[in-house]
Amino acid sequence: MTLPRFIALIPAAGVGSRMGTAMPKQYAPLAGKPMIQHVMQTFSDSPLIDAVYVVVNRRYEYIARLPDFPRTRLLRCGGETRQQSVINGLRAIEAEVDVDDWVLVHDAARPGLDHDLIEKLIAFVRDDPVGGLLAVPVVDTIKRSDGHSHAEQTVPREQLWAAQTPQMFRHAQLLSALQSSQSITDEASAFERMGLKPRLVEGSPRNFKVTLPEDRLLAELYLKGRA
């Protein structure tokens, strides 16, 4: 029996509409290099990760400018949604992975991921029957609006976590869970819909998703502070 391997799958085929730049945000420079290169480097350097796959959109010319990283391959099979990009990536690697290999799906737009977080996630999840994800406990007081910009209710935050990535599940189970779910924004929700409970592993605010123009400055501060 061979031990399961740990594979990184990075969906990077979005357009970055909320960032509002002409170039998709993951290819725009951040702290000295295209944003996506930060996580490609982190995974490629990780002694725990066996292979890295990046799902890109075949239409983008920016891909040609990315350098080669060891054990890393681009998959030109981006889909219309994040969910579809991940499904296409999982299908593209089906022949080269084992059904029980762990896949760590990580957003190209979270450049703050580091080796300690990868190590922690793997340590907590590798023996879990379902899988798990990095997430952070919500710190703000949360309001539910009436739909018209007025607070209707304060939602107790004790059990609320904000999901991050990587989200780590076994290849075959992940592919089948994603294929049988409609419109989900992360991997874990596909398992939740089947009544399963992915493990929540505390991540870090530094691993936030660069989404709005204001986020770039904060991401650069974090990345420069780390270098």
Nearer to ligand CTP among residue 57 and residue 204 (C-beta): 57
CB of 125 to ligand CTP, least distance (A): 20
Nearer to ligand CTP among residue 98 and residue 220 (C-beta): 220
Tokens 């007081």 belong to residue: 141
- With CB under 6 A as the contact rule, the residue among 7, 8, 9, 12 that binds ligand CTP is 12
Q: Taking CB under 6 A as the rule, does residue 79 contact ligand CTP?
A: yes
Nearer to ligand CTP among residue 155 and residue 171 (C-beta): 171
> 105 and 86 in contact (C-beta within 8 Å)?
yes
Cα–Cα distance for residue pair 144/157, rounded to 1 Å: 12
Nearer to ligand CTP among residue 55 and residue 117 (C-beta): 55
Site for ligand CTP in 51-70 (CB under 6 A): 55
Which range in 10-18, 123-131, 167-175, 213-221 contacts ligand CTP by CB under 6 A?
10-18
Nearest to 177, CA basis, from 192, 164, 195, 190: 190
CB of 184 to ligand CTP, least distance (A): 12
Write down the number of H helices and E strands in the chain.
6, 11
Which range in 101-109, 123-131, 155-163, 196-204 contacts ligand CTP by CB under 6 A?
101-109
- With CB under 6 A as the contact rule, the residue among 7, 26, 121, 216 that binds ligand CTP is 26
Q: List Cβ neighbours of 34 (8 Å cut-off, separation of 6 or more).
A: 26, 27, 28, 62, 65, 66
> 39 and 207 in contact (C-beta within 8 Å)?
no
* Nearest residue (beta carbon) to ligand CTP: 14
Q: Taking CB under 6 A as the rule, does residue 76 contact ligand CTP?
A: no
The sign of the torsion formed by the CA atoms of 27, 28, 31, 32 equals positive
Q: Taking CB under 6 A as the rule, does residue 190 contact ligand CTP?
A: no
Residues binding ligand CTP (CB under 6 A): 11-18, 26, 55, 78-82, 85, 107-109, 209, 211
